[in-house]
Structure 1
């Protein structure tokens, strides 16, 4: 589920629908046009209401409003669709018209692989970016017609992996012309990540104003951080321009021969530094994966002396090469969430005083909470 910052937030599910979450007025009124969901209504905090506004989509992953208020939706394996919304007040939105903007193609010269998740628009709203497991693409875009006016250009490539293929995109407002791209691990426990030159499990930034050729993710770009298993959500804190990410951590964790995966490790909120020239000790550093993780339930971790919630600890059987002392030198999360919550996105309010994080849970959480 992804949120878009407005008084009304647009939400996507991994199934086939898009909804909105809005701050409600003193009394909630029925919408004149609404879609009845086939599932139970979500539970929301007091002062909010949630409504379904679009169905029959193909695995909607990310959403973004263009300059004319059209809602662009990435449909995994299909492309990007534009939804023209009718605002009937409050959370009462409905789709007036819709049309495909980008359709995936089997032609390798057009789309190297299916679009999966990432989407971004330039500050002037006239360049559209989207990502596949292999590459980041751009198209000239006309917000008046909500259509692309060019074929795709490949901006970044050489990112393909067999797992964790989201490739989230961010165009920071405080660093115009820079594009942040995330790339997860190639498996649950990706030992290739130990070598920074592989490009696995990293977040990088690329200069869009000073490029003469396609960037190679492995060798090019500004390294924001590595040892990041799957930083699905990234966001810019609006006042300072700091870049933050939320991470899906490892499954099936063992420590000293004991299975501790039900309540460890914790999911992470990480500070990745800046792309606007401000320096930070975290930027470009190792965040621990695949050998070090953030503790959540400390009591369930064998030999836990000195550990607390958020402490980096070593998996497996600690030894002279990988141990808790070494892990303490890795960049620790700024905030640790309950294990297996699977954070998917992070969004700041306009003045940077609050942030929202969306979670979907995982097979681990479902299995042990039935």
Structure 2
């Protein structure tokens, strides 16, 4: 994947327009190296000081709701001056339940709030105008406790609640039995749920949208077709017939889980028996394997690459190993999917740590890229030096697309929220976009009128170095 670079010509051109940039109040600047942004986008840091922020979404009043893992759900009033010139005017703790760790959803009328612990999905009555909840939560789905992979992603589609549950690798053999409820995405009908209703059992009730899914943390619904997609975090430390292949295999996955009416649902995607190829050359005894093909970790008389491909559903797209996709959301027209890559912990050279876009064909609701495509996504914001990750860089988690088409995301390790907006001209991933800094405040009317690249300190260093050495930074 092409890395985001800054050409000296772009930097010097921007110096002339920086003075003309309109003020945007107090602009936050990250404590780590300023992120690099795709040329078609502008980004700004909106909030800091949060406690492991994970999922986020807007309520009907325009307030931003955020799950802060280990703290609860917080509500943030937004001051919106247009473009990325936004800020938070007031923050309150909406629900102070420390066991809430990731999942967040609102009913279609916006008056019921759902959130998850490792074991249970809860619901609260919610007044978006007052920013208050009913005092007693109701258990909606329960029985999901794990020792590891403890997030329970939530998605509302009509009167249906979709819940994703992973499973820890020590228990992976149990995931091959459907009734165990491990490594599955299930859907639950909310239309007849009342205050007196008993909680659904995740293991035995609901509709199975997909299983054999190790940890599909990100779940999204295509806005045109209603198709449900999941982004899958595949296994670490993989060997093949006794040889270590974990550096570049297996790939992460974008899987199509079907529709809420039941069409195309219930497929098994292979875990814990079969995985998706990312680097075929690294796999021994893998003649004929291509990107996206299912392969067996250890071949034997009953499990081979051929049986994997015949018996399990391959991903719609395969993504690089260890990128750790944690969310997927769609543009309003369905022409793009946005994916947050939390980044690696089991790879020699760190990878991921970025926000990316995947082109979709809106009418069909499917990715433009083929299943064998290794260039099906483009990074729109990333950390310029992954060697500083994961300890000194942003790590994106939750995504939300607002009514203006802006993409907001959380970074849990840094306790931050960013906003991204298209800058107007479609660019490539080889030129610098705009990151708003305290010395380069964005214009609400013209998001292009700012300094470009990595903040004024980095820009000056890059400019001086380029003049002396005659190079372009990449």
What TM-score results when the alignment is normalised by the length of structure 1?
A: 0.86
Match of residue 192, structure 1, among 174, 195, 206 = 174
Q: Where does residue 178 of structure 1 map in the other structure?
A: 160
Q: Where does residue 55 of structure 1 map in the other structure?
A: 48
Structure 1 contact 33–92 (Cα < 8 Å) conserved: no
Match of residue 279, structure 1, among 250, 254, 263 = 263
Task: List aligned pairs for 1:93-112, cutoff 5 A.
Answer: 93-104=86-97
1: CA distance, partners of 2:279 / 2:246: 10
Match of residue 313, structure 1, among 277, 286, 295 = 295
2: CA distance, partners of 1:331 / 1:227: 9
The answer to whether 1:249 aligns with 2:234 is: yes
Counting matched residue pairs gives: 329
2: CA distance, partners of 1:64 / 1:368: 29
Q: Where does residue 255 of structure 2 map in the other structure?
A: 270
- Residues 125/64 of structure 1: CA separation in 2 closer, same or farther (3 Å cut): same
The answer to whether 1:151 aligns with 2:136 is: yes
- Once the 2 structures are TM-superposed, how far is the Cα of residue 192 of structure 1 from its aligned partner? 0.9
- Once the 2 structures are TM-superposed, how far is the Cα of residue 40 of structure 1 from its aligned partner? 1.6
- Give RMSD over aligned pairs: 1.5
The answer to whether 1:34 aligns with 2:27 is: yes
Unaligned runs of 5+ in 1: 1-26, 106-113
Q: Where does residue 227 of structure 1 map in the other structure?
A: 212
Structure 2 contact 79–86 (Cα < 8 Å) conserved: yes
Q: Where does residue 296 of structure 1 map in the other structure?
A: 278
- Once the 2 structures are TM-superposed, how far is the Cα of residue 146 of structure 1 from its aligned partner? 1.2
2: CA distance, partners of 1:320 / 1:220: 35
Answer 1 or 2: which has greater helix percent. 2
1: CA distance, partners of 2:348 / 2:246: 13
Structure 1 contact 286–331 (Cα < 8 Å) conserved: yes
1: CA distance, partners of 2:136 / 2:126: 10
Task: List aligned pairs for 1:60-209, cutoff 5 A.
Answer: 60-104=53-97, 114-172=99-157, 176-187=158-169, 190-209=172-191
Structure 1 contact 260–301 (Cα < 8 Å) conserved: yes
Q: Where does residue 316 of structure 2 map in the other structure?
A: 334
Structure 1 contact 189–250 (Cα < 8 Å) conserved: no
CA deviation map 1:90-133 (0-9, x unaligned): 2111111111100016xxxxxxxx11101001111110000010
Aligned to 1:191, what secondary structure does the other structure show?
Answer: helix
Task: List aligned pairs for 1:342-357, cutoff 5 A.
Answer: 342-357=324-339
What TM-score results when the alignment is normalised by the length of structure 2?
A: 0.67
Q: Which has the higher contact order (CA 8 A, sep 6+)?
A: 2
1: CA distance, partners of 2:21 / 2:283: 47
Aligned to 2:174, what secondary structure does the other structure show?
Answer: helix
- Residues 170/304 of structure 1: CA separation in 2 closer, same or farther (3 Å cut): same
Structure with max Cα Rg: 2
